[in-house]
Amino acid sequence: MKTDNIQLARLVNMEDPQSVLDEVKIIAFMIFPKLDFEPVNRVFADVVRLFQGKYPGYRQCNTEYHDLQHTTDAMLALTRLIHGATLQGETFSEKNVALGVISALLHDTGYIQTLDDDSGTGAKYTLIHIERSIEFMDKYFRQIDFSVEDFENCRDILNCTGLNTNISEIRFKSREIELLGKMLGTADLLGQMADRTYLEKLPFLFNEFMEGNVVGCISERELLKETLGFYDITKKRFAGELGNVKKYMIHHFKKRWNIDRELYQDAIDKNINYLKYILADHEEEHRNHLRRNGVMKRLDEEGM
């Protein structure tokens, strides 16, 4: 296989949740050939039902940035990081790997509204979605007979996705759980920023921020500008609070695909460079230069 022109988006159909899960299984079995994947399968099926509005007591996901694809993007990025880390000598138990993947699946369930919540969208919970995700996890784990310790470990892993979370203050039960938390915090950011339609989806993020009363969000155009600063902050978070676990990603691509490049970083660089081009030369008409997958057309049709 020629690898020089391989792009991240071409490896797996990221718009198909089952295709993403299939790739996660392949990677997981590369780590543990006899891994019991059934707990992940069960949670995956329930999370898909939840986002699709088929889970009892809950509405369909109506946040178009923090959607099911974002969740599966994070799940796959996390699994790739775990694989890369094991190739570099890090060790994990089979159970903790499963708990890490399950944490990724549940990390944004706090955006989903209950059936009796019929005002606005789940975006109104932007500032408290992590707490709500943990509340959903607690209730869900009780229903499927996960232990209190499993909940506490997944809670600590999930908490690492908070951009303002001081990870050093979390009292992890083990180094493995701490590492998985930092990996999920990293995967959450990598998954969204490396998405080939990341820039196209930023107007959806703006709408979520507006409804969620996120301070400083005043216009779609301003959010595009602030994304460059957000990337600088993200790089510092990768290297600092998140323990530079991002370094493990390239080892996964070498082993799984025989590609000696960090494809997430390649994709992010392309997105950031194109955003700089738009802001430099086409800021007033930015939507005309963001046409992948018909996202802008959908925005226009919805009057956004």
d(CA 209, CA 63) in angstroms, rounded, equals 11
- Statement: residue 129 has pLDDT above 70: yes
- Statement: residue 257 has pLDDT above 80: yes
Among the listed ranges 184-188, 208-212, 217-221, which one has the minimum average pLDDT value? 217-221
The tens digit of pLDDT for each residue in 75-123 reads 999 999 999 999 999 999 999 999 999 999 999 999 999 999 999 999 9
pLDDT of residue 296: 57
Helix, strand, coil proportions of the chain in percent (round to 5)?
A: 70, 0, 30
Residue 125 is which amino acid? Y
Of 224, 123, 150, 233, residue with least CA distance to 189: 233
The domain limits of the chain are 11-301
Contact 183, 100 (CB under 8 A): yes
pLDDT of residue 294: 58
pLDDT of residue 290: 74
pLDDT of residue 217: 72
Task: Specify the pTM.
Answer: 0.94
d(CA 68, CA 210) in angstroms, rounded, equals 21
Backbone phi and psi for residue 58, each to the nearest 5 degrees, phi listed first: -130, 150
Residue 154 is which amino acid? C
pLDDT band for position 219 (50/70/90)? Answer: confident
d(CA 212, CA 167) in angstroms, rounded, equals 24
Class at the top of the CATH hierarchy for domain 11-301: mainly alpha
Residues ≥6 apart with Cβ < 8 Å to 30? 83, 255, 256
According to DSSP H, which parts of 90-197 are helical? Answer: 94-106, 129-143, 148-159, 175-193
Radius of gyration of the CA atoms of the chain, in A: 19
Among the listed ranges 2-6, 66-70, 142-146, 239-243, which one has the minimum average pLDDT value? 2-6
- Statement: residue 162 has pLDDT above 90: yes
Among the listed ranges 30-34, 175-179, 287-291, which one has the minimum average pLDDT value? 287-291
Of 103, 264, 294, residue with least CA distance to 195: 264
The tens digit of pLDDT for each residue in 16-47 reads 999 999 999 999 999 999 999 999 999 999 99
Q: What is the separation of C-alpha 298 from the centre of its chain, rounded to a whole number of angstroms? A: 22
pLDDT band for position 293 (50/70/90)? Answer: low
pLDDT of residue 209: 95
Q: Helices 94-106 and 148-159: crossing angle, nearest 10°?
A: 60
Residues ≥6 apart with Cβ < 8 Å to 211? 120, 121, 123, 124, 126
pLDDT band for position 215 (50/70/90)? Answer: confident
- Statement: residue 167 has pLDDT above 60: yes
pLDDT of residue 177: 98
pLDDT of residue 301: 57
According to DSSP H, which parts of 7-143 are helical? Answer: 17-31, 38-51, 68-87, 94-106, 129-143
- Residue found under tokens 């699709």: 52
- Statement: residue 281 has pLDDT above 90: no
| Residue 274 backbone zone (phi > 0: left; psi -120 to 50: alpha; other: beta) | alpha
The sign one gets for the Cα dihedral 205, 211, 215, 217 is positive
pLDDT band for position 74 (50/70/90)? Answer: very high
pLDDT mean across residues, the chain: 93
Among the listed ranges 150-154, 165-169, 289-293, which one has the minimum average pLDDT value? 289-293
